[in-house]
Structure 1
Amino acid sequence: MSNFLGSHAINMDAKGRLAIPARVREDLAQVCGGRIVLTANADEERCLLMYPEPQWEAVRAQIEGLPNMHKKARRLQRLVLGHATPLELDSAGRILVPPTLRSYALLEKKLMLIGQGKKLELWSEERWFSWLDEPADDDELPPEMEALSL
């Protein structure tokens, strides 16, 4: 099971290539042989989701199983499945982010790679720090979070 944690400031070149940090690259090599799937985040945050291939297959099955006659489910399917791009780390530990995904997440040179346990998020550095500065909303907490003690 993967355990992607931490945040990493990384750079993307003009062609859309970025080097995965060594620690993350080692974990990806062990978990999936460097085969990943990069896709759009369907939440309001415009970032990308990076899944090790085996983890992606489980997520993919769940998304494909949603009732596509429901507008919100169809939107999720179109965003996540429609943007899903299988990639493999090259010998230098780099990936090439497709232009459509760069555009979707507003990615430029400075990026943040954020560990989320079983997956990673790829953010524009500017959008990441802007999101961190946003005040927390006042939505009700899910019951699972009410009992959480950090």
Structure 2
Amino acid sequence: MFQGSHAINMDAKGRMAIPAKYRDSLASACDGRIVMTAHTQDRCVLVYPEPEWQTILPKIEALPTFNKASLRAQRLLIGYATPLELDGNGRVLVPPTLRDYAKLDKKLMLVGLGKKFELWSEEAWLASVADLETEDDLPEAMMSLTL
């Protein structure tokens, strides 16, 4: 389970290091093989352990292509999907197409969301968190939670 947010840096070649606390989990779950793809609603990158991606890929492929929103989701999720492997130092090269899509630069935020990560530019992450603070409407499913 991936959780927490981590400030990380991307080098001039477009490589980023996965935080050490997640490297062992990724090594055991997927031998360091991941899939990066575009988020369909936010300008960030989704990072899946390869086995997790393989479980959701058929669901994405099964979406109706005559529905514009479904087709857009397929184009983004499958079209940008890039299989990658962590190197011996726990680094991975973020593909240039995804760097452009999410406007990723040197300062990044890697956010754990259970079975996957989101990779954000630090600036976009801080703006997104600020936007969440101004939203008043909680989904009905959250109204029954006790935290």
TM-score by structure 1 length?
0.93
The 5 A counterparts of 1:66-145 are 66-134=63-131, 135-139=133-137, 141-145=138-142
Give the deviation of 1:25 after TM superposition.
Answer: 1.1
Say yes or no: does 1:48 pair with 2:45. Answer: yes
Instruction: Give the aligned residue type for 2:102.
Output: A
* Structural RMSD (CA): 1.0
Match of 1:9 among 3, 7, 10: 7
TM-score by length of 2: 0.95
**How big is each residue's C-alpha offset from its partner over 1:94-115, in whole Å with a ceiling of 9 and x where there is no partner?**
0001110000000000000000
CA shift for structure 1 position 149 = 1.4
Q: What amino acid maps onto 1:21 in structure 2? A: P
Q: What is the alpha-carbon distance in structure 2 between the residues aligned to residue 82 and residue 137 of structure 1?
A: 31
Q: Show CA shifts across 1:63-84 (max 9, x none).
A: 0011111111000000110000
Shift of 1:56: 0.3
Residue number among 122, 142, 146 corresponding to 2:143 in the alignment: 146
- 1:63 equivalent in alignment to 2:65: no
- Distance in 2, matches of 1:136 and 1:61, equals 36
Query: CA-to-partner distance for each residue in 1:100-137, whole Å, 9 max, x for gaps?
Result: 00000000000000000000000001111111112433
Where in structure 1 do 4 or more consecutive aligned residues deviate above 3 Å? Answer: none
2:30 paired residue number: 32
C-alpha distance in structure 1 between counterparts of 2:9 and 2:24, whole Å: 19
Matched residues, percent identical?
A: 60
User: What are structure 1's unaligned runs of at least 5 residues?
Assistant: none
Separation in structure 2 between the aligned mates of residue 48 and residue 58 of structure 1, nearest angstrom: 18
